[in-house]
Structure 1
């Protein structure tokens, strides 16, 4: 938690939006994920969200689904992703790393062992999209034991009571969906996003709010400045990586996009 809290505090002092960059662990290969983490960290990502592949990623759109399947085909497992995190820390990456994945693989691993191993590897917390905050007592107990973040989701259709309860149970930050549906690149932000984020901010209080789902361009990031503590970019980054033909080209593409997005955060 300390690494994550210091990141948000430092950026708030600068009046800067946090850039959260999503990578799928094991895409385009297990061997390339570590260098990509290092590249996006060096290019300006303030937080890295590292996906743990699952065969039924119900909250994800076609881009992330395709990268998840490629990761599974390449042998990605929760244990393999933890090894990637540990390797990134050994190579000097200090950026907070959040593990994003679905309940089934984590429960199969065993929650207490998972959180202990994740902490030892150098991860900072978990984002679990199919875990409702009100059903997460065991997860939150493990997170508190190991001083890790546990991030829950708000959506545009969330009631005031649900927003307050979700924010109250979140540790680290609140993940606020910019739109209903699944992940993916969108041309424009929802026209009602300002009113929605005002409601989220009222419910969250001092808890940082990060906005994801459809954020893909510098103009999206600029439009959200002052309305959220952070922005989360996934599909656009993975698409840029996938469009390149070589490991060096993929690192260059990821670094270029992250640099452009980070500049819009300042």
Structure 2
């Protein structure tokens, strides 16, 4: 059982929904992002998504793209992202960390070496947005064998014919993208999301977490109420980009987490 599996089991026992927070590693700089990372659990975050910056982030909107560029300009590398996880694990051995990004940095490092290093750093799962199920032998299956969850995205365009393929080797949870398009775009609507979550849950026992388009405690609550939890990324990254202090950013995160936990 991974930390992700254990976290969902604990939340289910408490009758609570999950709040997942995304930050970009190295944004606005290494020290600040590490401070935010370490503060997320106390702000109510159940699972952390740690973004690995990449030069061509095709699935991301302007907010995440700019965060990635700032991180890269500041010298953030895959090794430094793993170093952040290692530092985090010195004081927190229970909060799951999902590394989210693109395949190129992993491929460049070498899959085998990457999996050994990620596991040693305390990474629990991977979301690699540009590796479709047809490429599962490339990273997904080796990752699962190494004890890492491989989390897949389902979208409004994932029809009933495609869904079983998407779910086939997925573990940890299913990330449902609430809107068609890039991160940070339109607002998510619970009325639209609810039937889609039900459709996915009819095909899998995995938790379904909804992301994209969640910026307020109210939306966090309404989306979490129709799923197993919600993810917020762009809104948190935007707070950092606006020059807010770490305590201010973490207070904002706590308001979103409280919303999800009220669901």
**Partner of residue 64, structure 1:** 64
TM-score normalised over the length of structure 2: 0.94
Supply the distance in 2 between the matched residues of 1:264 and 1:128 (Cα, whole angstroms). 28
TM-score normalised over the length of structure 1: 0.93
CA contact (8 A) 1:244 1:253 kept: no
Q: How far 1:38 moved relative to its partner?
A: 1.1
**Partner of residue 139, structure 2:** 139
State whether structure 2 residue 80 is matched by structure 1 residue 80.
yes
CA contact (8 A) 2:156 2:180 kept: yes
**Partner of residue 176, structure 1:** 176
Question: Cα–Cα, structure 1 residues 50 and 144, in superposed 2: closer, same or farther, change >3 Å?
Answer: same
**Partner of residue 259, structure 1:** 254
Question: Cα–Cα, structure 1 residues 188 and 225, in superposed 2: closer, same or farther, change >3 Å?
Answer: closer
What residue ranges of structure 2 are gaps of 5+ in the alignment? none
> What does the per-residue CA deviation read over 1:19-51, in whole Å, with 9 as the maximum and x for residues that have no partner?
110010100101222111111121110000001
Q: How far 1:219 moved relative to its partner?
A: 1.5
Q: How many residue pairs get matched?
A: 261
1:20 is paired with a residue whose SS is: strand
CA contact (8 A) 2:190 2:223 kept: no
Q: How far 1:145 moved relative to its partner?
A: 2.4
Supply the distance in 2 between the matched residues of 1:90 and 1:263 (Cα, whole angstroms). 26
Q: How far 1:17 moved relative to its partner?
A: 1.2
2:48 is paired with a residue whose SS is: strand
State whether structure 2 residue 90 is matched by structure 1 residue 90.
yes
CA contact (8 A) 2:209 2:228 kept: yes
Supply the distance in 2 between the matched residues of 1:29 and 1:186 (Cα, whole angstroms). 28
1:137 is paired with a residue whose SS is: coil
1:22-171 to 2 correspondence within 5 Å? 22-92=22-92, 94-171=94-171
Question: Cα–Cα, structure 1 residues 227 and 168, in superposed 2: closer, same or farther, change >3 Å?
Answer: farther
Question: Cα–Cα, structure 1 residues 185 and 43, in superposed 2: closer, same or farther, change >3 Å?
Answer: farther
Supply the distance in 2 between the matched residues of 1:191 and 1:210 (Cα, whole angstroms). 15
Supply the distance in 1 between the matched residues of 2:77 and 2:188 (Cα, whole angstroms). 34
> What does the per-residue CA deviation read over 1:53-74, in whole Å, with 9 as the maximum and x for residues that have no partner?
1000000000000000000001
State whether structure 2 residue 215 is matched by structure 1 residue 220.
no
> What does the per-residue CA deviation read over 1:49-105, in whole Å, with 9 as the maximum and x for residues that have no partner?
001110000000000000000000011111110011101111335310000010111
Question: Cα–Cα, structure 1 residues 92 and 196, in superposed 2: closer, same or farther, change >3 Å?
Answer: closer
CA contact (8 A) 1:25 1:81 kept: yes
Q: How far 1:161 moved relative to its partner?
A: 2.6
Question: Cα–Cα, structure 1 residues 215 and 148, in superposed 2: closer, same or farther, change >3 Å?
Answer: same
Q: How far 1:140 moved relative to its partner?
A: 2.3
Query: If each structure's helix is expressed as a fraction of its own residues, which one has the higher value?
Result: 1
